[in-house]
Amino acid sequence: MLKAVVFDLDGVITDTAHLHFLAWRAVAQEIGIAIDETFNEELKGISRMDSLMRILRHGGKEKAFDHPQRLALASKKNALYVRSLASLTHESLLPGIPEVLAEIRAANVRTGLASVSLNASGILRALGIQQAFDFCADASRIACSKPDPEIFLTACAGLNVRPQEAIGIEDAAAGVEAINAAGMQSVGIGPGLDHAGLQLRSTRELSWKCLTDFWASRT
């Protein structure tokens, strides 16, 4: 029986991926590394420090910065990113999200959040949807980035459901991998997510009916 739906934040609830990209691009440029939107796909769902390490590797500069310098770069990126979050409002929810959250609630199924962003609670506040989730996994307590299943397993534990009783929804390849590794049913939003149990083009296609049809087809 379906007991919970666990959402990723960036790229599923709201589109902050572009804001992450702009902040990383500015910091990368300062150290002579060029990144584009295609490369940015690799950073989705990946923690701040892991993202920085991927950028340094991409620019062949893995060894050029010591730990304190890397922390300074990550903190510069975060300051730029947090400044850009000021533009978020309730209108920044992706299409179909308020409706599907309300439908899940009405069906008495629990909702969870599995975001590795340390800014998640501020983002939920800006969007005005802090009350929409029964449990938010705390990214600061997670040791491993997606594709490790840790954050989805933590969300299921916090919701008091078994992973086999839950659906996870993600926009990132690493996130879908994490859901599958957790033993949950996966819904992928956007292209390039062939490993998701159900692939949707956009959050517009999400609905309680589509989730329950998918669940019935898999169980």
Residues catalogued as catalytic: 8, 10
At residue 143, φ and ψ (nearest 5 deg) are: -85, -30
Q: Is 8 in the site for Mg ion (CB under 5 A)?
A: yes
Residue 101's CB is within 10 A of a number of other CB atoms, namely 21
Residue with tokens 């850009």: 84
- Under rule CB under 5 A, how many of the chain's residues touch Mg ion? 6
Q: In sequence order, what are the residues at sequence separation of 6 or more whose Cβ sits closer than 8 angstroms to the Cβ of residue 217?
A: none
Q: Please give the Cα distance from 57 to 40 (Å, whole number).
A: 13
Three-state secondary structure call for residue 134: coil
| Sequence-separated (6 or more) residues with CB below 8 Å from residue 25 | 35
The C-alpha atoms of residue 103 and residue 43 are separated, in whole angstroms, by 31
Which residues sit in the known binding site for Mg(2+)?
Answer: 8, 10, 170-171
Q: Among residues 6, 11, 119, 178, which is the contact residue for Mg ion, using CB under 5 A?
A: 11
Query: Stretches 27-35, 44-52, 61-69, 146-154: which one binds Mg ion (CB under 5 A)?
Result: 44-52
Is there binding between residue 92 and ligand B16 (CB under 6 A)? no
Q: Which is nearer to ligand B16, 111 or 117 (CB)?
A: 117
Token pair in block for residue 36: 């584009």
Site string for Mg ion, 146-175 (x = CB under 5 A): -------------------------xx---
How many angstroms separate the CA atoms of 40 and 80, rounded?
16
Chain centroid offset of residue 173 CA: 10
Residues 58 and 116 sit within 8 Å (Cβ to Cβ): no
Would you count residue 51 as binding ligand B16 (CB under 6 A)? yes
The reply on whether position 10 binds Mg ion by CB under 5 A is yes
**Among 5, 28, 33, 45, which residue sits at the site for ligand B16 (rule: CB under 6 A)?**
45
CB of 78 to ligand B16, least distance (A): 6
Exactly one of 2, 5, 11, 124 binds ligand B16 (CB under 6 A); which one?
A: 11
Q: Which parts of 114-133 interact with ligand B16 (CB under 6 A)? A: 115-119
Is 134 a binding residue for Mg ion by CB under 5 A? The answer is no
The residue ranges that bind Mg ion (CB under 5 A) are 8, 10-11, 45, 171-172
